């Protein structure tokens, strides 16, 4: 049995759901994978830098939502990240803070320090992948630790580990897909009769779109995912700013509906393919004929089709991801890291 | 660098293509995976039990097709399987002989003896999986070797390794899919205007259907694949004879075309799901509405949709598999075994 101290960086939906999932899968983790764990550190803007080397009570953690409540719990409040690492002594850090598209910071610094201290680093944040993949991968390898990030694209559907673990010696020539669910939900709403603004408002009410949804609507989230895939599975360095990008802001409800009625619905398509000089990558609305399975992917579902030297078309579709889908990717990364 | 002696059981399309692929990926195997190999044993009805501990010349192997030609090559002709194992001393045996639906023999005996002698056993033959999965898996584990069979379902698309390596701690509740390409090609031909017999004849001319195609047409191939998946990824023992089975022999071209025209084409659907008492599994022609991506899968393509506790719908589609698709599954298994 291996025992792991866990540090949670960020304590929003993703890491809270992860804590629930760790609890739900506790006996399987123990019996099948020989993994025991306790949460020794929790940090977020709201709760501060909380550490308890003996391990927090999971029920308390899931109940409490603010700094005052945490202050009543056992465990100290650290002054800064390095003090928190020293106090929590995590064997694995789950990084789930929000994305900084331009620089990937401060998540990169946090992951670097965690790896240097000898922890595995698992992130649901695309920033460190698109801005520091090679550096963090090499640092992890030098320390005999893992830097894993399965949850950054298509929730926890195994994309990166598919190529890392199950498709050895294969060459990825390119891919296309629908990778941003917020825009897909908005487009689906527009097909059903809403205007762009109404559909956005509906998605915001449902908690699918953020209050400021421009990151999704303008194609940035999709572009960052494309860049992550290009960097990791195509092995070509590509910052998200180099992905040609057009969002869905310019589409009217009428245009979306007439595209659907003409048998070729509008989708925010992500594309990348090898060229002679590197990789060409784009995110833009396209009309997709109904004979292409991409056209059938609506709402929060997503899809990706890889072109490889062995399989001319290998497609993975995720339908209506459940509550646990993103956190599951982090759990699966944890099991991989624990077995490494 | 690890050096592997390879024994090939069966020397038809699959193992011949594997030899080509090993040659094509030679530098990647060496540089990236630290694998070197030589073929020390080749056995088939046509060439006999040939062994050469120093390694056959690959160009010779790929050129020669019959026993006389092999007799001119270096290396001895063994009297039987055990003598061949002793002479070839394989570190890994690639078993690609034809399927015995009822018993899985003699492939099971061959794999058992290979594992007992300390070789990894990699098979493209579903028989050993549906009739002896637990025994061979446990034997392999006791010997510290691998029993792998990725190529048995959907060519080399990673299905078994997906659940073994990349989706830990997940529960598969059921699956549905189109897993037999011969019947899918015949149905596609019937949709385009052919009768059943004409479409079968065309598929035979193209080398897609065998001279006696009843194994495919009557749903046996699909049922054996369903049983393999149920045994391995659902962890429930199910012989292929327990899969409810109806083939496509009873379908007329007219029925197939009118189903397509009504927007719900006929597909030979495979299904399995957990029930209170175990697993219910079936193979039968069904009409699938065009809003379901299954309906879009034609010709030699295949598709499978898993329902799991984490992902309500996780679908993998293989479009128009290339020449190397099946052999690639064996190569990927080899790399996994070599790294174990």
How far, in Å, CA of B42 to CA of B71, rounded?
12
Q: In the predicted model, is pLDDT for residue A68 greater than 80?
A: no
How confident is residue A63, by pLDDT bands cut at 50, 70 and 90?
confident
Cβ contacts of B157 on chain A, cutoff 8 Å: 311, 314
How far does Cα B132 stand from its chain's mean position? 15
Instruction: Judge: B310–A336 Cβ closer than 8 Å, yes or no.
Output: no
Provide the whole-model pTM: 0.96
Instruction: Judge: A321–B315 Cβ closer than 8 Å, yes or no.
Output: no
Nearest by CB to B322, from A25, A162, A311: name it: A311
Overall average pLDDT of the B141-154 stretch = 98
Instruction: Judge: A161–B166 Cβ closer than 8 Å, yes or no.
Output: yes
Which of A101, A93, A96, A18 is closest to A331 using CA atoms? A18
pLDDT in tens, B199-240: 999 999 999 999 999 999 999 999 999 999 999 999 999 999
How far, in Å, CA of B83 to CA of A244, rounded?
62
pLDDT of residue A138: 98
Structure token pair of residue A217: 């609507």
Cβ contacts of A265 on chain B, cutoff 8 Å: none
pLDDT of residue A77: 85
CA angle A33, A34, A36 (to 5 degrees): 115
pLDDT of residue A66: 66
Overall average pLDDT of the B139-168 stretch = 96
How confident is residue A74, by pLDDT bands cut at 50, 70 and 90?
low
Cβ contacts of A301 on chain B, cutoff 8 Å: 313
Q: Please give the helix or strand (H or E) that residue B222 lies within, else none.
A: helix B220-233
| C-beta separation of A166 from B162 below 8 A | yes
CA angle B218, B221, B227 (to 5 degrees): 115
pLDDT in tens, A305-328: 999 999 999 999 999 998 899 999
pLDDT of residue A159: 97
Instruction: Judge: A316–B314 Cβ closer than 8 Å, yes or no.
Output: yes
How confident is residue A70, by pLDDT bands cut at 50, 70 and 90?
confident
> From the candidates A23, A146, A172, A310, which should be mutated to test the interface with B, based on the most B CB atoms within 10 A?
A310
Overall average pLDDT of the A250-274 stretch = 97
ipTM for the complex shown: 0.95
Overall average pLDDT of the A174-190 stretch = 98
Strands B244-245 and A302-308: unpaired
pLDDT in tens, B278-310: 999 999 999 999 999 999 999 999 999 999 999
Overall average pLDDT of the B29-58 stretch = 94
CA angle A94, A97, A100 (to 5 degrees): 130
Residue carrying structure tokens 């990894």: B120
Give the B-side interface with A, CB within 8 Å: 25, 28-29, 32-33, 156-158, 161-162, 165-170, 290-293, 296, 301, 305, 310-322, 324-325, 328, 331-332, 335-336
Strand order, beta sheet including B147-148: B76-78, B48-51, B35-44, B2-9, B92-95, B120-123, B147-148
pLDDT of residue A67: 67
pLDDT of residue A181: 96
Overall average pLDDT of the A173-177 stretch = 98
How far, in Å, CA of B121 to CA of B93, rounded?
5
Which of B302, B324, B335, B338 is closest to B156 using CA atoms? B324
How far, in Å, CA of A140 to CA of A162, rounded?
20
Give the burial string for B188-221 (b: 16+ CB within 10 Å, else e): bbbbeebebeebbbbbbeeebbeeebebbbbbbb
Write down the mean pLDDT value for chain A. 95
pLDDT of residue B67: 67
Q: In the predicted model, is pLDDT for residue B66 greater than 70?
A: no
Instruction: Give A275: exposed, middle or buried? Use CB within 10 Å, 0-12, 13-18, 19+.
Output: exposed
Q: In the predicted model, is pLDDT for residue B74 greater than 70?
A: no
Instruction: Judge: B157–A322 Cβ closer than 8 Å, yes or no.
Output: no
pLDDT in tens, A192-246: 999 999 999 999 999 999 999 999 999 999 999 999 999 999 999 999 999 999 9
Residue carrying structure tokens 């990778």: A179
Cβ contacts of A336 on chain B, cutoff 8 Å: 168
Q: Residues of chain B with pLDDT > 90: what percent?
A: 91
How confident is residue B103, by pLDDT bands cut at 50, 70 and 90?
very high
**If you write DSSP's letter for every residue of A151-173 in order, what string do you get?**
GGSSTTS-SHHIIIIISTT--EE
How far does Cα A291 stand from its chain's mean position? 29
Give the A-side interface with B, CB within 8 Å: 25, 28-29, 32-33, 156-158, 161-162, 165-170, 290-293, 296, 301, 305, 309-322, 324-325, 328, 331-332, 335-336
pLDDT of residue B340: 85
Nearest by CB to B312, from A169, A305, A322: name it: A322
Of the given ranges (A207-221, B67-81, B247-261), which has the lowest mean pLDDT? Answer: B67-81
Overall average pLDDT of the A237-266 stretch = 97
How far, in Å, CA of A186 to CA of A182, rounded?
6
Which of A42, A39, A96 is closest to A71 using CA atoms? A42
């Amino acid at each position: 049995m291996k025992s792991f101290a866990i540090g949670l960086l960020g304590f929003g939906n993703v890491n809270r759901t992860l804590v629930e999932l760790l609890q739900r899968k506790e006996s399987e983790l123990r019996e099948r994978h020989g993994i025991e764990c306790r949460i020794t550190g929790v940090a977020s803007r709201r709760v501060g830098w909380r550490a308890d080397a003996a391990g927090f009570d999971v029920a308390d953690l899931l109940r409490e939502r603010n700094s005052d409540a945490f202050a009543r719990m056992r465990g100290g409040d650290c002054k800064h990240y390095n003090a928190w690492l020293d106090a929590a002594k995590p064997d694995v850090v789950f990084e789930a803070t929000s994305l900084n598209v331009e620089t990937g910071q401060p998540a990169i610094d946090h992951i670097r320090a965690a790896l240097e201290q000898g922890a595995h680093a698992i992130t649901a944040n695309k920033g460190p992948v698109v801005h520091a993949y090679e550096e963090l991968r090499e640092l992890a390898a030098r320390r005999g630790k893992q830097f894993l990030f399965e949850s950054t694209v298509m929730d926890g559907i195994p994309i990166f580990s598919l190529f890392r673990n199950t498709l050895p010696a294969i060459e990825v020539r390119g891919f296309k897909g629908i990778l941003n669910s917020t825009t897909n939900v908005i487009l689906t709403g527009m097909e059903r009769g809403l205007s762009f603004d109404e559909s956005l408002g509906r998605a915001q009410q449902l908690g699918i779109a953020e209050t400021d949804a421009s990151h999704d609507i303008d194609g940035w989230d999709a572009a960052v995912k494309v860049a992550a895939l290009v960097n990791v599975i195509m092995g070509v360095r590509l910052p998200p700013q180099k992905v040609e990008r057009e969002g869905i802001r310019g589409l009217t409800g009428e245009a979306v509906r007439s595209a659907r009625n003409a048998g070729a619905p509008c989708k925010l398509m992500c594309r990348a393919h090898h060229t002679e000089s590197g990789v060409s990558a784009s995110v833009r609305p396209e009309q997709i004929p109904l004979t292409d399975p991409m056209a059938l992917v609506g709402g929060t579902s997503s899809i990706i089709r890889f072109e490889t030297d062995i399989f001319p078309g290998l497609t993975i579709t995720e339908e209506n991801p459940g509550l646990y889908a993103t956190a599951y990717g982090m759990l699966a990364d944890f099991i991989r890291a624990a077995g490494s």
